[in-house]
Amino acid sequence: MSAATEAKPTESRSRPERRDVEDATCLACGCLCDDIRVVIENNHIIEAGSACLIGQSFFASQNQQNEHPIATIDGEVSDIPAALDRAAAILANARRPVIWGLTHTTIEAQAAVVALADRIGAVIGLGNEEESRAKHQAAQRVGVVSATLGEVKNRSDVVVFWGVDPVVTHPRHFERYSVDPRGRFVPEGRAGRTVIVVDSRRTATAELADHFFEISGDSQFETLWTLRALVAGSYVDPARVTSDVRHLGELLQSARYGALFHGSDLGRGRGGQATFEAFLLLVRSLNDRTRFVALPLGGPGNASGAEAVLGWQSGYTLGVDFAQGFPRPATRESSAQARLENDSCDAALIMADDPTRRLSSTGLDGLRRIPSVIISPIATSADHRATVALNSAAPGIHHGGTVLRVDGVMIPLRSLLETTRPSDREYIDEINQRLQAETERS
């Protein structure tokens, strides 16, 4: 056993009892605010300066004692080396292994998992693959006009929130990126921007907007397509265009620089992927007249990093199959979740995600029927009867690393608290080393 996977001493010998950490990163929503001043006393976070209420609760929750044992095998407490040996044996003996999750860990750990998948010929599926499939397929078909949030902050004079409510879900989005900041070309800040909300109901964000347009979730495709036709100057039967849609089209075209923010729901209802394509094509058409970009608000953790790492290392962003010894895209039918659902896999590694919340119930049932390894800060064999459960340190709390914001900007994480638990990256490296040694012996 290397020093990396020995249980570490709880108390730091070198860190003072009270200290401040500047520019810590909050992983509680897609804003990934990296300006949090964390005050730590006796290995407890007692203050998270600049964080919103969601962020404060995220940091406060890290003080809770992790009651789960560091490692278990078949539900029994184990030492780490024995659990790693069993995990490596499960993965080495599998003929069709799947790896699922990865959205709540660092880029470094995600890259190590892709190397492991390559070694054992696994199918990788991301924890957000179902909600992100329409977005990815639409982006591959029609492309995305995008920008960094820094560019939006400096240039946008029209900001549209389409079907999202950042005041509730991303409380500092206005302040940091989209509405309030004074930008290089928007020196007036909020006063220099027109804020528009399009949604099926009047939200908290709509209350702060200059314009609110109510459209039902079912008519999003028609509205987007009509707007695109209006922007392109195509003939549209006047009887089919409401005054609201015409007004919205005029506001979009009045922008010097516009930003359209969307959520993960777009493309999941009626119209599916076509709705997402219509959204991206509207932004593309707007660029014939002015400058416009599309950006998601993003979710908590590091799903953007997981998608990017898969893309960088395999060429496929949502799911990839290494069974043939080279990467192939995993479709909905051949995805990790589908294999769990139809019993076409014989072992699973679940990492940095919550299968009880994000896998389908059929997939979860399938997971319970095969040997499995779970590595997570909340790993417990009770939830889905994992054969091996390894509790890991939390990224951005117990160890550093890198995550990717929705606009592709790298954000560093800082280590704040001491823990006895190794990181998920350390566990994966140990499993990789065991598999390498096994290969060399045979």
What residue ranges bind ligand SF4 (CB under 6 A)? 26, 28-29, 31-33, 51-52, 54-55, 170-172
Minimum separation from the CB atom of position 98 to ligand SF4 (A): 31
User: What Rg, from alpha-carbon coordinates, does the chain have?
Assistant: 23
Minimum separation from the CB atom of position 53 to ligand SF4 (A): 8
CA angle 121, 70, 403 (to 5 degrees): 60
Q: Decide: helix, strand or coil at residue 425.
A: helix
Minimum separation from the CB atom of position 375 to ligand SF4 (A): 24
Minimum separation from the CB atom of position 426 to ligand SF4 (A): 26
Minimum separation from the CB atom of position 251 to ligand SF4 (A): 27
Round to whole Å and give the CA distance between 160 and 30: 17
Round to whole Å and give the CA distance between 244 and 222: 13
Minimum separation from the CB atom of position 330 to ligand SF4 (A): 30
Minimum separation from the CB atom of position 209 to ligand SF4 (A): 18
Let me know if 191 is exposed, middle or buried by CB neighbors in 10 A (0-12, 13-18, 19+).
exposed
Q: Which residues, at least 6 apart from 393, have a Cβ–Cβ distance to it below 8 Å? A: 377, 399, 419, 421, 422, 423, 424
Q: Sign of the C-alpha dihedral, residues 229, 232, 235, 241?
A: positive
Q: Which is nearer to ligand SF4, 39 or 251 (CB)?
A: 39
Minimum separation from the CB atom of position 194 to ligand SF4 (A): 23
Q: Which is nearer to ligand SF4, 32 or 309 (CB)?
A: 32
Q: Decide: helix, strand or coil at residue 7.
A: coil
Round to whole Å and give the CA distance between 208 and 269: 26
Minimum separation from the CB atom of position 402 to ligand SF4 (A): 16
Round to whole Å and give the CA distance between 355 and 339: 14
Q: Which is nearer to ligand SF4, 115 or 168 (CB)?
A: 168
Round to whole Å and give the CA distance between 245 and 291: 20
Q: Which is nearer to ligand SF4, 177 or 257 (CB)?
A: 177
Which residues are paired to 402 by β-bridges? 412
CB burial of 332-343 (b: ≥16 within 10 Å; e: otherwise) equals eebbbbbbbbee
- Distances 103 to 18, 57, 84, 310, 407 between C-alpha atoms, Å: 32, 20, 22, 11, 16
Q: Which is nearer to ligand SF4, 85 or 407 (CB)?
A: 407
Q: Which is nearer to ligand SF4, 26 or 397 (CB)?
A: 26
Q: Which is nearer to ligand SF4, 350 or 406 (CB)?
A: 406
Pairs from 5-9 (Cβ < 8 Å, separation ≥ 24): 5/80, 5/81, 5/84, 5/422, 5/426, 5/427, 5/430, 6/80, 6/422, 7/70, 7/80, 7/420, 7/421, 7/422, 8/418, 8/419, 8/420, 8/421, 8/422, 9/418, 9/420
Q: Which is nearer to ligand SF4, 25 or 226 (CB)?
A: 25
Q: Which is nearer to ligand SF4, 173 or 421 (CB)?
A: 173
Minimum separation from the CB atom of position 172 to ligand SF4 (A): 4
Structure-block tokens of residue 87: 């995990």
Q: Which is nearer to ligand SF4, 171 or 263 (CB)?
A: 171
Shortest Cβ contact with ligand SF4: which residue? Answer: 55
